[in-house]
Amino acid sequence: MKITIGAVVEGGSSLQYRTGSWRLERPILDHDACKDCGRCEEVCPDSAVHWEEAGFRIDYDYCKGCGLCAYECPEEAIQMIPEEK
């Protein structure tokens, strides 16, 4: 029996996969309600939440609309709304 083992020649990166087109719902972040705790950034599986000058921002090129950020936000500062296609 012959066994072939493949070699990984280059590390992968989720930046290669713009998962924004998967989205059925869009998270909307209310900056007035947000307390800048960073929980949404920690839990986002696509690293789509980033701190920018005046607060956290969601990168919709990568957000796939899973809703985890809204579920985990202790301030209920993120609401999921139907995505317009």
Quick check: 57 and 30 in contact, CB under 8 A? no
Out of 17, 22, 24, 36, the only residue in the binding site for ligand SF4 (CB under 6 A) is: 36
Alpha-helical segments (H) within the chain: 39-43, 68-72
Out of 14, 15, 17, 38, the only residue in the binding site for ligand SF4 (CB under 6 A) is: 38
Backbone angles phi, psi at 15, to 5 degrees: -65, -20
Question: Is 29 an interacting residue with respect to ligand SF4 (CB under 6 A)?
Answer: yes
Give me the residues that bind ligand SF4 (CB under 6 A), please.
27, 29, 34-40, 44, 46, 48-49, 56, 58, 63-69, 73, 75, 77-78
